[in-house]
Amino acid sequence: DGGITQSPKYLFRKEGQNVTLSCEQNLNHDAMYWYRQDPGQGLRLIYYSQIVNDFQKGDIAEGYSVSREKKESFPLTVTSAQKNPTAFYLCASKGDRGQNQPQHFGDGTRLSIL
């Protein structure tokens, strides 16, 4: 079945450590997105990519980095500069550049501090 796979489901980060969250899609979608979800704050956009080898910062990009070397993959790295990384991270994709298509979501990665 086509879909978005996020791994791992749970991740723990030590002080000063960078960690990478994986997001893979087999929907042949051009656009991919990373959101951070905190209780009571909804979803906040971290980074998005409309096409391979191109990406833009969202509202809360500081302390995060991404790459888009392949259409299917959009990994997110949470760097040691992100001082409050504990959150639920959601990856999404969309099939075209039009406005009327919904974003499809993976099942998320929950990141915690050790």
Partner 1 sequence: AQSVAQPEDQVNVAEGNPLTVKCTYSVSGNPYLFWYVQYPNRGLQFLLKYITGDNLVKGSYGFEAEFNKSQTSFHLKKPSALVSDSALYFCAVREAPGTALIFGKGTTLSVSS
Provide the binding-site residues for partner 1, judged by CB under 8 A. 4, 6, 31, 33, 35, 40-43, 45, 48, 50, 58, 88, 90, 92, 97-100, 102-108, 110
Q: How many residues does the chain have?
A: 114
Q: Which is nearer to partner 1, 85 or 106 (CB)?
A: 106
Other CB atoms closer than 10 Å to residue 72's CB: what's the count? 18
Q: Which is nearer to partner 1, 71 or 104 (CB)?
A: 104
DSSP 99: S
Helix-then-strand count for the chain, H and E: 0, 11
Q: Which is nearer to partner 1, 80 or 108 (CB)?
A: 108
